[in-house]
Structure 1
Amino acid sequence: MEEYLNARVTHLELSGIRKFFNMVAEFDDVVSLTIGQPDFPTPLHIKEAAKQAVDEDFTVYTHNAGFLGLRDAAAKYMLKKYNVSYEAESEVIVTTGASEAIDISLRTILKEGDEVILPGPIYPGYEPIVRLCGAVPVLADITKSSFKMNAEVISGYITDKTKCIIIPYPSNPTGVTLTREELMEIAELVRGKGIFILADEIYSELVFDQQHTSIAEFLKGQTILINGLSKSHSMTGWRIGFLFAPKEIVQHILKVHQYNVSCASSISQKAAYAAVTAGFDDTAAMRDEYKRRRDYVYSRLVEMDLEVVKPDGAFYFFVKLPEAYSSSQDFALELLKKQKVALVPGDAFSPLGEGYVRLSYAYSMDTLKRALDRLQLFLKK
């Protein structure tokens, strides 16, 4: 019966990140720097809020968009953090993770043949959804712009078929973000055109050397803003994301959300409420530790004469392969077999990621030191 399935689905491939992660599981004594997941526990007060929700039988459907108290708290959180204003009743949807927010946004705005500009390299969670919608992903090469998806880069890819520009920042896999000035230039480039900006700002709280700016501050009418708690509050498994957009857009995205999941988990919503209220500053200590790790990893990579752009945020390095290697798969496999260190091959992040490997530093300093010591030994040999 496989021949009768939707060809758009059968032609999709599993994420290269997960495929390599599964391969790593077959080896013993591996130091893995593959997964982009915070290594901190969810803050205690958030877990207690979830327990209380269970005890109080808050185990029923909520409003499709999420219970109003959470939407209101999320809107206030975004206003205070990033100076973007949204109405809780009509411009906020609580989603099942940021991934669902991306999915329902693209399914709402895209038609057959529309073009979507994405930076390359890029996390593999966007392009398959674009293809499932019958739209065309257009990879913008950011390897020559210090991994910046800026207005100059974008302008070279806009056509009369462009419907959406996806801007994830800070970026997975590069950790690079955009400045306030660069975001203003992008806003001016597309202002008044029939082009949506899908701004994936899930790593917004993990920016080290500057203040995160949301492009929605300059272009609210054309922006669908995605955020969530997975990275900021170490809540990956709770699956809570937030979607913010003007009401005339949200009213239609909400329909897709409703028929997709009805609503996000009620228990997780109560935990999320604690995160965006009492946990307003929960990220600070985590961010400081990530910055300390970033600086350590960067110094080690530079010592090894590896070419790398110093990341502004998130918890990734996208490291250029030594000249002796042309295949990221070959490099990653050889490193895995010879020194038991796992890094993600760059081609998992689109063809434009070839020639690189991704290193996640969402691991303890001890783990990072052991992995980098082994990497250094591998390079010397």
Structure 2
Amino acid sequence: MTLVAHSLSRIKASPTGGLTEKGNQLKAQGRSIISLTQGQPDFETPQNIRAAARAAIDRGENRYPPTAGIVPLREAVADKFRRDNELPYKPQETIVCTGGKQVIANALLATLNPGDEVLVPVPYWVSYPELVTLFGATPVPVPSSAATGFKLTPQALEAAITPRTKWLVFNSPSNPSGAAYSRDEIRALADVLLRHPQVWILADDIYEHLLYGDLRFATMAQVEPALHERTLTVNGVSKAYAMTGWRIGYAGGPAALISAMAKVQGHFTSGACVIAQWAALEALTGPQDFLDASRASFVQRRDRVLQRLQAVPGLHCHRPDGAFYIFPSCQELLGRTTPSGRALATDEDFALALLEEAGVGVVHGSAFGLAGHFRISYATGVEQLEQACDRIQRFCSELR
């Protein structure tokens, strides 16, 4: 008899976490490692948010919170959806979870049955297909490429839908590509979804406030209100407010779905950390000037890293419109060898060699469903990014 559940044999460990840990191990051995693997802003959580957490502690906010979230935060989440996204969720149609990942896991576990299919546009965040598989359903990758700006097209969406399709996972701006959809592009996808009433939409909007240039953010149920009753709109405070470690995600959706998700959460974790919830309340209701300042910094970093990488022979970079990732193609460099004689047959070989021989941690594109690429997170300091680009340029130039 084996200890580990059979279901775990269907999924892989997180490649992002694995490469981050490998980088940490090398660093512990005295190596100089610049890790660009995690999507984690290097800014400090704003002072007003930290002060709100301290005040909650001083007030004695140390009891179990309601499973679906403290009432003031659920009200603030509903207000945020109304104010920013024109979505008329009531507080009882919201839920607060331990990070956006738990929101997604709760929704999938509460709704999926064996035989169900979930459409996952490629390239995808690493946890989407693994969660679908873990819960007994089938992830269906829907292809895209640099030629489509790494975006799902209406034609590809239509071709992927079957009578078994339960969900479409829709992430804009996207991890890992940084691709962001215009209102017109979302409108075209919505027109397809209106023809298939069995398909629910999981709109992962976690990078909502990290959108650059003239593009304005829009979400699926906002663009097409007729999809409101079969859309779960997911968001959180991690990326926008530099609160990754506070672990607060939230969502709005139909009351029956939110109730089912709360039922799952009641047995898994109960309510999210109450101190972090009071901090998240301040994030959503307090001053928002931090968003503009951090966005401006990310634009500067994106442009500089893009400039540096586009000058590297063999790398090709699509300009991202949001999030804090660049997703270069390294396809031309595969088949070459490093000065130590290491063969680079795959993008994973490329990422491992870059880490072990040049001291730069990135995540290989096949982890996101699109081989021949790698993901860089530029959510770190400018000086480190410059050093990382120096190392990448040198590493690529020395390949034979």
The TM-score bracket by the shorter chain reads: over 0.9
Mapped partners of 1:160, 1:187: distance in 2: 17
Q: What letter corresponds to residue 101 of structure 2 in structure 1? A: S
Query: Does 2:197 match 1:193?
Result: yes
The equivalent residue for 1:346 is: 365
Q: Is the 8 A contact 2:10 2:133 kept in 1?
A: no
The equivalent residue for 1:82 is: 85
The equivalent residue for 2:172 is: 169
Mapped partners of 1:292, 1:329: distance in 2: 29
Q: What letter corresponds to residue 238 of structure 2 in structure 1? A: S
Give the SS at the match of 1:139: strand
Q: 1:150 deviation in Å?
A: 3.0
Q: What letter corresponds to residue 186 of structure 2 in structure 1? A: L
Give the SS at the match of 2:139: strand
Specify whether residues 261 and 337 from structure 1 end up closer, same or farther in structure 2 by C-alpha distance, changes over 3 A only: closer
Q: What letter corresponds to residue 70 of structure 2 in structure 1? A: F
1:270 corresponds, among 257, 278, 297, to 278
Q: Deviations over 1:9-31 (max 9, x none)?
A: 23322111122222222330122
Q: What letter corresponds to residue 137 of structure 2 in structure 1? A: A
Q: Is the 8 A contact 2:163 2:198 kept in 1?
A: no
Query: Does 2:170 match 1:182?
Result: no
| Count of equivalent residues | 377
Identity %: 35
Query: Does 2:49 match 1:30?
Result: no
Output aligned runs, 1:1-381, within 5 Å. Answer: 1-2=1-2, 5-27=4-26, 28-88=31-91, 90-143=92-145, 144-191=147-194, 193-209=197-213, 210-217=215-222, 218=224, 219-305=227-313, 306-325=315-334, 326-350=345-369, 353-381=370-398
Mapped partners of 1:62, 1:19: distance in 2: 33
Mapped partners of 1:340, 1:252: distance in 2: 45
Q: What letter corresponds to residue 380 of structure 1 in structure 2? A: S
Mapped partners of 1:271, 1:24: distance in 2: 31
Q: What letter corresponds to residue 178 of structure 1 in structure 2? A: Y
Mapped partners of 1:51, 1:237: distance in 2: 16
Q: 1:282 deviation in Å?
A: 2.6
Mapped partners of 2:353, 2:257: distance in 1: 48
Bigger relative contact order (CA 8 A; separation at least 6): 1
Q: What letter corresponds to residue 369 of structure 1 in structure 2? A: E
Q: Once superposed, which parts of structure 1, at least 4 consecutive aligned residues long, lie more than 3 Å away?
A: none
Q: Is the 8 A contact 1:142 1:149 kept in 2?
A: yes
Q: 1:322 deviation in Å?
A: 4.6
Mapped partners of 1:24, 1:348: distance in 2: 17
Q: Deviations over 1:338-373 (max 9, x none)?
A: 3222221112223xx211111110011101111111
Mapped partners of 1:93, 1:124: distance in 2: 23
Q: 1:122 deviation in Å?
A: 1.2
- Report the TM-score, using the length of structure 1 for normalisation: 0.95
Q: Is the 8 A contact 2:107 2:257 kept in 1?
A: no
Specify whether residues 310 and 129 from structure 1 end up closer, same or farther in structure 2 by C-alpha distance, changes over 3 A only: same
Give the SS at the match of 2:209: coil
Q: What letter corresponds to residue 332 of structure 1 in structure 2? A: A
Q: Is the 8 A contact 2:331 2:373 kept in 1?
A: no
Mapped partners of 1:11, 1:114: distance in 2: 16
- Report the TM-score, using the length of structure 2 for normalisation: 0.91
Mapped partners of 2:102, 2:289: distance in 1: 25
Quick check: 355-364 or 181-190, which moved more?
181-190
Q: 1:252 deviation in Å?
A: 2.1
Mapped partners of 2:117, 2:209: distance in 1: 30
Q: 1:336 deviation in Å?
A: 2.5
Quick check: 72-81 or 160-169, which moved more?
72-81
Q: What letter corresponds to residue 13 of structure 1 in structure 2? A: K
Q: Deviations over 1:38-63 (max 9, x none)?
A: 10010111111111111111111222
Give the SS at the match of 1:255: helix
Give the SS at the match of 1:263: coil
| Structure 2 unaligned regions, length at least 5 | 335-344
